Amino acid sequence: MTRTDVIVIGGGIHGCCTALHLARRGLKPIVLEKNTVGRHASGVNAGGVRQLMRHTAEIPLSMAAMDAWERLDALLGPELAANCNFVGGVGQIGIAESAQELAWCRERVAEMRALGYDFEELIDADELKRLVPSVADICRGGIVSRRDGHANPFRTTQSFRLRAEQLGARILERTRVTGLEQGDGGWTVTTDRGTFGADIVVNCGGAWAWQAGAMVGEHFPKSHFASTLMVTSRMPHFIDPVVIGIDRVLSFKQTEAGTVVIGGGILGDPDLDAETAETVSDRMMESAATVYEFFPILRQATIVRTWAGLEALMPDVIPVIGPSRVASGLWHAFGFSGHGFQLGPIVGSVIADLIVDGVSPLPIAAFSPTRFTAEGKLRPPAQ
């Protein structure tokens, strides 16, 4: 048996980042990854670094994450930071086409102001056109978060992994957790490649995280989904910000390579057991149509690839971050419901603080596992 202080289950961005921060705090984490690092949602998401239009409970985390994104050098060192291809400050824009969408933007900005957040701004058609000259005239304005941007998700996850390894963490790929048991001497984690012992276990299992919970009798929703992305061949540079729809199915950005990555939460067909997902052309129509309706320049674009990554989905679309409700020394960080990438640099730091200091400076009560019943159902909101 290999003994260490902390075992992290799952080599996605949050697992790698957790290992990185634990190693910074002097621990010797081992990450157990059933496939390869960043194989699923962490490596193949749209790469949006977005504070815009988030669930209000996530905003303090998201703001702290944004600070970390802007100081990736400090976290990763200059070479690995550059590897992430992070482009900040270009903004993410929610585009309003209808009067209802614009009205929603206005209410949203007012709600944010009331909560003390001023990073979301209402913009009119002129400012939209200034930020995105290629936008069609049918768009009336929208909502912008100017610090936002994008990064390369696979390279970012790899960079976190490499930094964690530099700091002394061990990342074991193709190592599948098959059992999790707590005894007098701490946790025993069984895998298909040996047994590991640790005082603490962190569950960053993504779409499969509920399985680790079930091993200790702690139940979570098993729901998961596969978000689809389409990518075009290289095009001349025409847009800097990331744009998303308000009510319309739309999300796209142009990468540094010139390709345009188009998403918007289009559903693929997930297969949790086969650990893969297929993309479905029938469901891509709407997004394709919206993209070129809003951006006529894309009428000439050609789709060369599509892909989909598996991700956990919580019924309230916010993550699970916090201590286990059935066992001591077990922590959860999963269920990011398709928008966890931007939180990548911060969740691991929260978990490390909780493990080492017993408390996090960031508010995470909304993400507590206690919001689920013993059977894993979401409790109705308290009145």
DSSP annotation of 98 reads S
Interface with another protein includes 253 (CB under 8 A)?
no
133 exposure class (CB count in 10 Å sphere: 0-12, 13-18, 19+)? exposed
Amino acid letter, 349: S
Q: Decide if residue 43 touches another protein (CB under 8 A).
A: yes
CB closer to another protein out of 138 and 317: 317
The contact pattern for another protein, residues 257-276, with x = CB under 8 A and - = no contact, is: x-x--x-xxxx--------x
Interface of this chain with another protein, residues 140 to 159, rule: CB under 8 A: 154-155, 158
Scan for tokens 């200091």, then name that residue.
Answer: 357
For residue 82, the number of C-alpha atoms closer than 13 Å in the C-beta half-sphere is: 2
Helix runs in 180-281, H state only: 209-215
Residue 354 CB, nearest approach to another protein (Å): 25
Candidates 28, 53, 190, 199; binder of another protein (CB under 8 A) is 53
* 225 forms part of the interface with another protein (CB under 8 A): yes
Is residue 372 involved in binding another protein (CB under 8 A)? no
Q: Does 45 sit near another protein (CB under 8 A)?
A: no
Task: Kindly identify the residues of this chain, within the stretch 59-118, that bind another protein according to CB under 8 A.
Answer: 94, 104, 108
302 interacts with another protein by CB under 8 A: yes
Please, which residues have CB within 8 angstroms of residue 347's CB and are 6 or more apart in sequence? 14, 17, 18, 61, 319, 321, 333, 340
Among 3, 25, 106, 283, binds another protein (CB under 8 A): 283
Contact 289, 281 (CB under 8 A): no
Q: Which of 236, 277, 242 is closest to 259 using CA atoms?
A: 236
Farthest-apart Cα atoms in the chain, separation? 67
Q: Nearest approach, Cβ of 321 to another protein (angstroms)? A: 17
Cβ count within 10 A of residue 276:
16
Task: Tell me whether residue 108 or residue 360 sits nearer to another protein (CB atom).
Answer: 108
Query: For the residues of 156-203, what is the DSSP string, one character each?
Result: HHHHHHHHHHHTT-EEESS--EEEEEEETTEEEEEETTEEEEEEEEEE
Rounded to a whole number of angstroms, the CA Rg of the chain reads: 21
x/- contact string, 169-208, with another protein (CB under 8 A)?
A: ----xx----------------------------------
Task: Kindly tell me which residue out of 216, 278, 323, 326 binds another protein, with binding defined by CB under 8 A.
Answer: 278
- Read off the DSSP letter of residue 221: -
Site string for another protein, 8-37 (x = CB under 8 A): ----------------------------xx
Interface ranges with another protein (CB under 8 A) = 36-39, 43-44, 53-56, 94, 104, 108, 154-155, 158, 162, 173-174, 225, 227, 230-233, 246-247, 249, 257, 259, 262, 264-267, 276, 278-289, 291-292, 298-308, 313, 315-317, 337-339
